[in-house]
Structures are given as C-alpha cells and as structure tokens.
Amino acid sequence: MKTNLSVIGEKFAFEGTVKEIRSLGEGLINDTFFVETEGSSPNYILQCKNKNIFQNIPAMMENIHKVTTHLKKKIVAQGGDPMREALTVTLTKDGKLYYHDEQDEYWAACLFIEDTITYQKADSTILAEQGGRGIGQFQAMLADMKEPLTDILPGFHNMRFRFKQWDEVIAKDPVGRKAKVEKEVEWIESRRDEMLAFWAKAESGELPARVTHNDTKISNILFDKNEKVLCVIDLDTVLNSICLNDYGDAIRSYTNAAGFEDEEDLSKVYVDMDIFEAYTKGYLAETAGFMTPAEAENVAFSAKYITFEQVLRFLMDYIDGDNYYKVKNDTHNLVRARGQYKLLQSLDENYEKMCEIVNSQLAALGK
Ligand code: GN1
Ligand code: MG
C-alpha cells in the first residue's frame, strides 16, 4: 500500500500550513522527505526510519532526544544558537518523539535548518579541518553527559561481534559466493588478532565508552556559507562507544581520494594525507582536552580499525547475499569491499606519517 505522506505529515506538530512533502532522494538506510510550509513558517525534515536496521526506534528517538537536549544546554551556555547548532526534534501532535503508523512504519521529524550547505566530499583542507572540529565539539559537549544511552545497535563497532557474524556467514555460505572470494576472505582472516587486540582495549575499559555519533561522514555535517561548521546531523546512531571510532570513520571517508565507496578504479583510491592532517588538526583541537593518555596513543590506529571493519562488513554482506546494504547489482558489495581494502593498504603505507602527524598535533596541544 502506498503511503499517504500528507496524512503522516498531519500527525506532527508542524507550525504553519504544509504546502508540499517531497522526497529528498534515497538514502542508504532511511527514506527522507522535505516538508515545505507556506510563507515564513519553518520547514521540516520527515523520515521513515529503517526498522530492519533500527529494531528499537522508540529507544533510538529517546537517545536523540537526550543528546539534543544536552547539546542545546551547552550551546546556550556558550552563547550559541541552539536552534541552528543542534537538531530540534519535532514532536507529534500528541507529544511523542515518533509516529507509529498502521503499516507498522516509524516516522520522525526535525526542524530543517535554513541557509546551510552540505558536501558529499571533503575537497579542501578547510572543510576537512572544520569537519574535524564539528565532530570534536560534538563529543566534547557530550563528554559530561551522565545519562546512559540505550544500545540500539548492539555490537556496532565491536570487532568480536563482527567476527561472530562473519564466522556464521562463512560457515553457512548461503548463496555459494565464498569460493569466488578466497583471496578477500584471507584479507580478513590474516588481521583477526590485530583487530581484536584493539577492541580488547575497549572491552577492558582502557579506552572508555563515551557518547559518540557513529556515522561521521562529511554529509552529516551542516556548514554555513563561509565553510564553517554549524551542526552535526543524522543522530540515529548516537551510542555509547569509544570516541576514536568517530575519528576513524571520518578519516575512512574524508581522506579517500576517490571520494566515494563505489570506485572501481582502485588506482584512484588512496589516502589524501593533506586531508588527513587537516581533519586530525580540527578534531584534536576540540578533543585533546578530555582524552586520556590511552586514547591519545590509539588515535591513528582507529582509522585502520574502522576501515578494516568496513571491508569485513561489505564482504560479509556480499557472501551473505546482500541483505544489509542496498545494492545496485550482484557485485556492488564486493566492489565496495575491494575499495575499502585498497584504502586500508594505503593507511598501512602511510601509518608512520599518520602517527607523526597525530603526535605533533597532540604535542602542540600540550598532550
Ligand atoms: C551506513 O547509510 P549511511 O552512510 O548513513 C552504515 C554505516 C556504514 C556506511 C557505509 C546504521 O551508513 O555504518 O559505515 O553505511 N550505517 C548503519 O557507507 O549500518
Ligand atoms: Mg546514517
């Protein structure tokens, strides 16, 4: 049955009169719509959340509510604009954080922040440094948030959990693709111990759990017209996890010279070290103040960790028959896994230089 968007829109406490609700294109996870209102009333973003991936959407919305409430208090105390520098969840007319429709779909809305720009690619060091500041400020403002968040994506960046999923998929080989990717399977197996050793530091508490974003690509940052970071968006994945994962995931996406995960020409996939330096500078300027010595020591490795995790997740989804990520064809996940592996190789090659950059930035910040 086709969803009647205007009926969904009527459930929310939008100011003014809704003129049109139109699709903002297909995201990889949720379906997103722009709600345009008449005259000078605010506009909104409306989303149908993906319930296959997010199995507890009420808890997800509670997490978002807790985080945005905390951020707004901090922004006001710093003299900022809480309506532009943090997301504002728009409630339903009966005061709920989401609307659960008759077809068992979950909808949520937030205020659209006007006069901002988003980028798909970090094509300048200015943008990269600002992006690093954005996630760094986000984490710093949330570093003293005491209320725990519900773990709505159990095991999300947990390598032990990922290997458990991996072992099950490899044992099952449900669509007979394993034989086609022996070499790629070996990429994963050969680094199992190295990657589990990093995660063991999170399990022991050596790397503490903090409030983290978990999807730190550049398109999840709103910039103002002067290329200055304004607001971090897409809070579906806010969780308690280690802060370095947000840094590592951003490095994985910002520094990829190819600019996207679908590049088939692997000669275009490598780490842009100028972007690496700029992002690292921006991120550490905001986070060095709260980082423990153990966190500071593991900054550079986190980029390898998250990139490896992404190779594993794409390859696992390929072997599993493409159940998680949306794909355009049978080899889409394999292409993505190969691209991420090429990026991981480039991170390996540049690792010494990456450590030097991190250490010199930390030293400049008195760490
Ligand atoms: C998914 O759709 P997007 O880009 O927000 C995924 C991330 C992956 C990313 C890879 C909840 O995020 O973890 O890194 O694809 N999000 C979820 O492109 O699994
Ligand atoms: Mg996302």
Asked if residue 117 is part of any domain, the answer here is no
What's the CATH code of the domain at 176?
3.90.1200.10
207: pLDDT strictly greater than 60: yes
User: How many structural domains compose the chain?
Assistant: 2
Query: For residue 353, how far is its CA from the centre of ligand 2 (angstroms)?
Result: 30
Asked if residue 194 is part of any domain, the answer here is yes
Asked if residue 120 is part of any domain, the answer here is no
Which of 89, 111, 133 is the last residue in one of the domains? 111
Verify that 163 and 297 share a domain, yes or no.
yes
- Ligand nearest the Cα atom of residue 249: 1
Q: What is the mean pLDDT of the chain?
A: 96
Q: Which whole-number Å values give the CA distances from 160 to 130, 237, 335, in the listed order?
A: 33, 19, 24
The pLDDT tens digits for 229-276 are 999 999 999 999 999 999 999 999 999 999 989 999 999 999 999 999
Q: Which whole-number Å values give the CA distances from 203 to 110, 155, 200, 240, in the listed order?
A: 35, 11, 5, 13
Verify that 136 and 244 share a domain, yes or no.
yes
Average pLDDT rounded to a whole number, residues 90-109: 97
Look up residue 97 and give its two tokens. 């954080």
Verify that 94 and 167 share a domain, yes or no.
no
Ligand 1 atom closest to the Cα of residue 54 is 11
Which residues have a Cβ under 8 Å from the Cβ of 173 and sit 6 or more positions away? 319
The residue whose CA has the least distance to atom 3 of ligand 1 is: 28
Verify that 145 and 243 share a domain, yes or no.
yes
Q: Give the pTM.
A: 0.94
Ligand 1 atom closest to the Cα of residue 220 is 5
Pocket of ligand 1 (CB under 6 A): 27-29, 53, 215, 237, 261, 310
Query: For residue 61, how far is its CA from the centre of ligand 2 (angstroms)?
Result: 14
Find where tokens 């049109």 sit.
Answer: 20
150: pLDDT strictly greater than 70: yes
Asked if residue 116 is part of any domain, the answer here is no
pLDDT bin (cut points 50, 70, 90) of residue 25 is: confident
Query: For residue 184, how far is its CA from the centre of ligand 1 (angstroms)?
Result: 21
User: Residue 117 carries which DSSP code?
Assistant: B
Q: Percentage of residues in the chain with pLDDT exceeding 70?
A: 99
Compute the C-alpha angle 122/135/116, nearest 5°: 60
Lowest mean pLDDT among 22-31, 54-63, 308-317: 22-31
Query: For residue 338, how far is its CA from the centre of ligand 1 (angstroms)?
Result: 17
Verify that 107 and 167 share a domain, yes or no.
no
Verify that 226 and 152 share a domain, yes or no.
yes
Residue 309 structural domain = 125-364
- Sign of the four-CA dihedral 83, 84, 88, 92: positive
Verify that 138 and 255 share a domain, yes or no.
yes
Asked if residue 118 is part of any domain, the answer here is no
Verify that 91 and 238 share a domain, yes or no.
no
Verify that 259 and 353 share a domain, yes or no.
yes
pLDDT at 2: 67
Which of 111, 137, 168 is the last residue in one of the domains? 111
Which of 111, 134, 156 is the last residue in one of the domains? 111
pLDDT at 1: 54
26: pLDDT strictly greater than 70: no
User: How many Å separate Cα 114 from the centre of its chain?
Assistant: 22
